[in-house]
Structure 1
Amino acid sequence: MSNLAKTILHIDASARKSGSVTRELTDALVSKLADKVAGSKVLKRDVSQGLPFLDEEWVGANFTDPEERSEPQKEKLALSDMLVRELKAADAIVIGTPIYNFSVPATLKAWIDLVARTRETFRYTEAGPVGLLEGKKAYVIVASGGTKVGSEIDYAANYLKHVLGFIGIKDVSIVAADQLMMDPSNREAALAQTLELAA
């Protein structure tokens, strides 16, 4: 397989539709990546409008052997199954997220909870958990008003890098459009970094 992305999963989490720095940067990055390979496919997933949170029925269905699941259990997992299929199909994943109160938006955490599934995206071994989605590239674009990305109070970028690695996606590039309320020029620097990564 070429190291160029044939299928790109584009995930946006910002509550803002207009004026969103992360949406601007993910659009630019996905466009550049798609231009590099003729016939590239982009799967767009906007999680900002919300995803269901895990509940007792979902957990019960998830931990039931797939061959023994009832029809209601299969229906309960249907959205999660679709999100996992999107993730498995992607060669590259582009995630754009703001930092809300030092962490990721609840909607993006809900997406993570729906795709981090044992037997699907990771498995347990005697040596500990092993990610099953190896060989993929992830780009995480993070914007903040005041939080410094990578700092001790950043529970967004560090968390996303960890959880992606947990499911096997270890090649993760972070683009920081941070502290924009203090230095708006960081937006232009982040755009330049985004385009450089795509190149």
Structure 2
Amino acid sequence: MKLLILDRDGVINQDSDDYVKSLDEWIPIDGSIAAIARLSQAGWTVAVATNQSGLARGYYSEQTLVQMHEHMHQLVAQQGGELGLVVYCPHGPEAGCKCRKPLPGLLQQIAQHYAAELEGVWFVGDSLRDLEAALAVNAQPVLVRTGKGQKTAAKPLPEGTLIFTDLAEVADQLLS
């Protein structure tokens, strides 16, 4: 199985320091939906692992989050692709859960769902938290410069981190 795991905010859609709280605020980054569709058409399974502490903070409801994810699936389908499993951590930073990145819980959920090994699987994110989660499961940390990625790239990164402009460039690399 060719598996690719993505963070959501800042990788697929525009991020916001005020949180993405509604369907109207969920705006795809140019080229990201097409990139997922192209990968899917080429036989890749594309899954998403996202921290969504806005739920715990009361900024939006689980129903709103489901709407955002359904919309994301629909947009990919309209481009002729298929988006795989989307898992999220609904907890705040102090909850002590095992799913909030940089902990590996979300990535392990994806691995279990697909009965897949994560060693070497690319996990694409825009934050150090994402890169650390990748390392926790021996996945390949991949940073995009969209979202918080530009700021993240200015800091020391885990050894072996691959860096790309955006998700479209990641797809170009994987499909070349």
Q: How does the TM-score come out when normalised to structure 2? A: 0.41
| Structure of greater Rg | 1
Q: How does the TM-score come out when normalised to structure 1? A: 0.37
Higher strand share: 1
